[in-house]
Structure 1
């Protein structure tokens, strides 16, 4: 198995927010980083420039994770940079709306499930094919980004999104047991309220601040704090950790 901080890591949805923070921290740890994105060319280019400008190795690859063929192409590009060590499944959407489940349009429900569940499954399948010992690989690590929204179900706001992240948690546990013997560890990080553009895109830029009073630590997370948890799970210090869902939520 490729050692911590060596080899290639794919970070999906890495052009901004938590994904960008993970990509930057992974590069600082010594990984070559594939910055995956679906449509934010400028954001992905900025992340790549930040990495290469600091002496790291990075490549932006445009691919919609809900497209199985595009996912295969993403992994082909990553393998061109060197041995694949890890995959971080960060790509996820809310549908850019906030409201009760009864008002969520059908196309939004289907798109959220396509990206957050089907897309994550497609990426996990390809990761196992490329890294699993039964498939000729050397092992590796998969980190899925979940959400603490699964705890309460996000009633009145993002119940559809919370449901998709519940699927992420279940898949993490099941896949971890399936592929442990292949040398692949599978874990999840579940961020709480985090200061990213996700809330503004849904029309509530002050949402994190308004939730501060419900968080024991009194504030939302910064993307780098989520990234730090991901990098710990990728490291050798977490070598006996698999099937875990790690909440990073300030006690909420």
Structure 2
């Protein structure tokens, strides 16, 4: 049987990088989408190849339609039919109250987290529907139901949109043999906390989580890999919370 081919956006670091490596270990070929750090993306691709998979790195801003089209075009031209998509690319903007947020930051969060996910899911649906099979996993957030007051309610709102997309698209594509699910991580040890201006956030917030720790990216990747696997063949429309009990 041919190896599945999965496109992972935001694949050069954090949850995305861990997902690429986990999928390669599970027998996937992987397209590593990244927006800035080509060196990090190539390092992830090297790890995929070491695990026995084929890999391709593609620079893509998922909020730009032309970039998304190019991502999938290159994937299909160079590696073959895309069988899976992990919509992982996301940004938060600086931490703070909504009243203090810049409009540019609000727009960027919505453009990447929601519009970008929609654009990637739309292209994947167009490719997968005629083939009668495929799987999409959207990376949401526990923030979608917690709201994240005082930190990033705009980010939480964008992820609530991802949850709604997941449920609606699963019903739309189910008759075509395509499964659509989401993983909603809680607090995870990634570079995103530094990017939002609070590198110590995982340690500071861990006592408020029932398991009393933040997650490792690999723990989130395991949930994503399961949802893409044949073991989840009757699972669709699910938002799987992986948040340590919070």
Q: TM class, shorter-chain normalised?
A: over 0.9
Q: 1:110 is paired with a residue of what secondary structure?
A: helix
1:65 to partner: Cα distance:
0.6
1:152 to partner: Cα distance:
1.7
Residue of structure 2 equivalent to 1:85 = 83
Q: 2:223 is paired with a residue of what secondary structure?
A: helix
User: Which segment drifts farther, 77-86 or 14-23?
Assistant: 77-86
Tell me, yes or no, if structure 1 residue 50 matches structure 2 residue 47.
Answer: yes
Residue of structure 2 equivalent to 1:125 = 122
RMSD: 1.1
TM-score of the two chains, using structure 1 as the length reference: 0.95
Residue of structure 2 equivalent to 1:202 = 196
1:40 to partner: Cα distance:
1.2
1:56 to partner: Cα distance:
2.1
Contact 1:92 1:115 in 2 (8 A): yes
Distance 2:189 2:72 in 1: 30
Q: 2:131 is paired with a residue of what secondary structure?
A: coil
Distance 2:110 2:70 in 1: 21
Structure 1 residues 1-252: aligned runs within 5 Å: 6-80=3-77, 81-95=79-93, 97-132=94-129, 136-252=130-246
Unaligned runs of 5+ residues in structure 1 are: none
TM-score of the two chains, using structure 2 as the length reference: 0.97
Distance 2:3 2:227 in 1: 14
Number of residue pairs matched by the alignment: 245
1:245 to partner: Cα distance:
0.2
Q: 1:193 is paired with a residue of what secondary structure?
A: coil
Distance 2:194 2:11 in 1: 18
1:201 to partner: Cα distance:
1.1
Q: 2:83 is paired with a residue of what secondary structure?
A: strand
Distance 1:73 1:144 in 2: 20
